[in-house]
Each structure stands twice: as structure tokens, then as C-alpha cells.
Structure 1
Amino acid sequence: MSLRRRIAAVAAGVLAAPLVTVALPSAPAFAHGYVSSPASRQAQCARGLVPCGDIKYEPQSVEGPKGLRSCNGGVARFAELNDNSKGWKVASTGQTVTFNWTFTARHRTANYEYYVGGRRVGYFDGGMQQPPATVSHTVNLGATGRQTVLAIWNIGDTSNAFYACIDVNAS
């Protein structure tokens, strides 16, 4: 191949690369994190314990703006996570519960919060660090009986948070 042809081939490749990049479909984002045990509502969907829609395919994707207090994180297509009559499995626990987060993409973390009935029962500083693949927090719920815990992972490098509701019966 002549030098002229090589230069032309390289130039064509350099010019075509941006077009190919734009034209190819991008890979889906595998975001980000959820409470895996006790099984959050989205974890129950993913495991087929409760019949659910799209959330069963992506339990880690309940992401919405910080400051919300809903199980679905404001994501309309995951609205069923807010439905208390759906037949969620209730975990039998003590008044003190260890919640285990599973992360598929690890963002810098501002903090984690836990709420029962609108009252914050747990707070853990994330130190603006990237967490390991799993994180555990032990929280005293402050009461016994049937409760829905809202767990929130507040991201440090975006304006969003990840939400998970866990149904427990604390004794």
C-alpha cells in the first residue's frame, strides 16, 4: 500500500470515528444501589417474590432528587413500590435491624438516612467517599410492630439519591 493510500485510510478513519460513535446505540447504564437485606420492595420484585413491573429488572435504579420521602423516588414507572397493599413480604426483625446495601455503581456518598413514619431513625455519614460493593448499617427503629422503613442513599457527586422501602415487623 502506498504512503498516500495509508494517509487517506487513516484520515478517513479519524473522520468517521465520531460519526460511528454517535450512530451506535449506547450501552444501558447499570445504576446504582438498593437494600438487599432485609429484602427491600425492589429486591422482592427482582427475586420474583411479589409480581411487579419494570422494577424487577433493575432494582438498583430507584433514583430521584434528594429530599423525597417516597418508596419509588418519584419515578412514575416504579409507582407500585408506593402501593402498601401489594402484598410485600414482611421481615421479622428485632427493634435493631442491620440493613445491607448492594451497589452496582458506586457514587461518592454524602450520607445514608433511614426513616419510619416520617421520623429519621438513622443517619450515617458517607464522608464523600466511594463505598465498597456492599455497606451495612445497624439502626434502632425506636418502636416495635409492623413498620415500613425508608432507606435513602444520598449521592455526593450528583443532586440525586437512591430510595428503598423495607417492610419489617420489629419485636
Structure 2
Amino acid sequence: MPPQKGKTPTKGAKQILMENTATVSFYRNMAIAAGLTYNLLAFTLFAESLSYGVIFLDVFVVIIYLGCYQMMVYISRPKYTDSNQLVDPGLDLNMEGGMGEHVKDIVILSSITHVLALISNYFWLLLLLLPIRAFWLLWTNILGPWFFQEAPEDTEQDEKKRKKMERKMKRYQ
């Protein structure tokens, strides 16, 4: 399919606000459903086999849910004027490559891990993908380009300065 010609369409402030509200509620409901499913089944059916480590991981995932929910609410908070007019709808949570996308990925991974941990405790190891992904993003966006950036090329002004310095050095010799 050929690329579209002209300017790419943008979303309006009200559309971003509505989509952000729907996104926050969807991921909140996903986290609540996964958390309730795990906690109800684990503490009713498998209560005698729960260890402190599993309870710690359960609480850890619930803290992840709360942190991600608060982050999504905070970054998508709209700003209004005194006359209650929408000035800024907040950050678009559905923007590709944005901060909202990463937070949503964390909620999805945590929810999948939470539900799969009912099958086996080894599924808790999926949470190790979070720091791996964080390091990958850090490397590709910040560290990698910083380490491997090319040296700046000599500009015409730098060339003139170098020649001037050479003439001065020859004069003093």
C-alpha cells in the first residue's frame, strides 16, 4: 500500500481525552481482573501451598499495577482553564512509541504473569522481562547512541582556526 500523501491526520484534544479515559479504565480493569482471579483462586484453592516468596511476588505485582495506574492517570491528566475549557488533554496514552505504550506493556506483562502463576510458580520468572526491557530501552535510546555517535566533522570554521594556528606556530619557530 503506498504511503499517504500530505500531512498525517492529528487527533483533537477532546478525542485524546476520551481515548485516554477509555485506556486508563481498560488497563485498570485488566489489572483488577488478573489480581482478583489470582488472589481468589490462590488463597482459596492453594492456600496451604503458598509460600512467603509467592505472597511477596503477589504483593509486588499489585504494587506494579498501582504504580502503572497512577502513572497513566498522572501523565494523561487534562488541564482546564478557570472557565472549565479544555486547554491540554494530557499525554496521549495511545501514541506509538510514547511513555504510555511502555506503561501499558508493563500492565499486560504483569497481568499475564499473574494469571499464569496459577498454573505454575515458574511463571513468576516472566517478571524478569521487565528489567531486561528497561535495559534494552535505555541502551537503544540513550546509551547506545551516546557511546557510538560519530565524531563531529571539521567545519569550515574549524579548518580556518587550524590553519591560523599553524601559521602562528611557524612564525614562532
Query: Which TM-score band applies after superposition, normalised by the shorter structure?
Result: under 0.3
- Give me the TM-score of the superposition, normalised by structure 1: 0.20
- Give me the TM-score of the superposition, normalised by structure 2: 0.20
Instruction: Compare CA radii of gyration and give the structure with the larger one.
Output: 2
Higher strand share: 1
